[in-house]
Amino acid sequence: METLLLPSSSSSSSASFSNFSPSKHALNLHKNPIFLKPQNIFFDKSTKSVPCAAQNMNNSAAAAADGQLTKEVKLWGGRFEESVTDAVEKFTESISFDKALYKHDIMGSRAHASMLAHQGLISESDRDSILRGLDKIERQIEAGEFVWRTDREDVHMNIEATLTELVGEPAKKLHTARSRNDQVLTDFRLWCRDNIDIIVACVKRLQVAMLRLAVKNEGLIVPGYTHLQRAQPVLLQHLLLAYIEQLERDVGRLLDCKVRMNFCPLGACALAGTGLPIDRFMTSDALGFAAPLRNSIDAVSDRDFVLEFLSANSIIATHLSRLGEEWVLWASEEFGFLIPSDSVSTGSSIMPQKKNPDPMELVRGKSARVIGDLVSLLVLCKGLPHAYNRDLQEDKEPVFDSVKTIIGMLEVSAEFAQNITFNQERIQKALPAGHLDATTLADYLVIKGVPFRTSHDIVGRAVAMCVSRNCQLQDLSLSELRSINPVFDEDVYEFLGVENAIKKFRSYGSTGSQCVASQIDYWTARLEIDRVK
């Protein structure tokens, strides 16, 4: 496993690694972006209602262990005379998945409480009580001691109700000038922002693994394919660098998405804002956003940022699937170009001889999940009117799944890349087939002054002669070549054979040795790694 060397911080919004600066929180979440520790969820069975502030936190936890907690009056339930049915409560709860937002919910509440105190809407004493209570709740959650209750519906109400139990009246002031609509969007943007940083770091690690694999295989020529037919010889390094280029564009899309995502909904409230004298710029700055969102309706309605995020993930998944497809083919007996180590292979339960590149098959397969998550969000959003609609509760699970899946795909692809070798003997034996130097021969004729279309025809006849005689272009004698066209001379043999063909590539970005060496140098510097074979 390569050591991850993160680039230096920069304030620029450009999509290069040199401008990638992951948040401290994102790095802390890197091992598991969804949960740090297993969490307890209590599914209450009683239908009796009691005020939420009437219970002590410790007593609640103990009662939960005995299955004796009673259903609470909702924090929004003042105008209701009946509790929702158990079926409705089970169907509408989101705590089973949105508890993943707990840290960001607490971050937002800290910023909001501080702003309210600064604006004189709550006292400094109330603010301090709230902050102490939030600190305690965060410690309980991360220790796995917090009891998540489905009758409290979601992460916001679980934390707020528990805060009320801990600090009493000050906690009831925290929701001043805030709705769950703008609260959840603030949490969600923070969560997505952090996880973009995590995914970018995983992409970088895969790029580093691919670059090291390229450096290790300097000079190795492989058949290049179009239409899955042999086309021209290429350096293996050149092919691996193509994937690094794709991954770099993936990084660019993620960082561009992060720039557009990084605006704060907090203070937009339900949809219309508030008449209270809040300072949205203060909370935005405290949470590291570029600015508050300008329009309060847009602030609570917008899901463009998740659509763009999942679109970027889907393109990454597609790139990884193509890599998986190529490596699975190359590991087959028919190709035999690639040999995965035992540490990244699996066997068959019935065929003892089998050695399967299963990790890359699963990478190929899991791309369908990531693409499906995007489609789910597109369909979810396509028919919704402004502003907030409860349908949007369904946006979290596809995003969580997409992020978890894409991180797994990136990590196992990097692991696979570090545990494969290329079968040089098999590749060398395979190179003569397919007349891979035919285009280089056409270039030779162009240099001699023959129009390319005429050159194409001449080389086509030369290939036909080789096919009839079961030989390679370089095996044809000069007299045989001149029988096709007298322009051929002794120097033609400097263009024939895959090694000579590689030497003749000289255009910028080509597979020529000097061009590829320049690309290797570029990526070594850009990815900030030591050039070690």
**Residues involved in catalysis:** 227, 348
Strands, E assignment, 39-133? 40-42, 49-50, 71-72
Based on its alpha-carbon atoms, the radius of gyration of the chain, rounded to whole angstroms, reads 31
Per-residue H/E/C for 129-151? HHHHHHHHHHHHHHCCCCEEEHH
Per-residue H/E/C for 283-346? HHHHCCCCEECCCHHHHHHCCHHHHHHHHHHHHHHHHHHHHHHHHHHHCCCCCCCEEECHHHCE
Are 301 and 388 spatial neighbours (Cβ–Cβ below 8 Å)?
Answer: yes
What is the helix (H) or strand (E) element at residue 225, kind and residue range? strand 221-226
Collapsed DSSP state (helix, strand, coil) of residue 410:
helix
Count of helices and strands (H, E) across the chain: 21, 10
Inter-CA distances, 297 with 181, 260, 389, 451, Å = 10, 17, 12, 64
In the DSSP assignment, the letter for residue 69 is: P
In the DSSP assignment, the letter for residue 91 is: H
Q: What is the spatial distance between Cα 178 and Cα 149, in angstroms, rounded to a whole number?
A: 22
Tell me the angle at which helices 124-142 and 102-118 cross, rounded to the nearest 10 degrees.
170
Of 180, 31, 170, the closest CA to residue 113 belongs to 170
In the DSSP assignment, the letter for residue 392 is: G
Residues 6+ apart with CB under 8 A from 441: 459, 462, 473, 492, 495, 496
Q: What is the spatial distance between Cα 68 and Cα 45, in angstroms, rounded to a whole number?
A: 8
Query: Can you list the pairs that 110-113 forms with residues at least 24 positions away whose Cβ atoms lie under 8 Å?
Result: 110/134, 110/286, 111/266, 111/282, 111/283, 111/286, 111/287, 112/174, 112/178, 112/266, 112/283, 113/174
Inter-CA distances, 51 with 72, 78, 147, Å = 6, 11, 17
Residues 6+ apart with CB under 8 A from 265: 182, 185, 186, 189, 292, 293, 299, 300, 302
Q: How far apart are the first and last CA of the chain?
A: 14
Collapsed DSSP state (helix, strand, coil) of residue 66:
helix
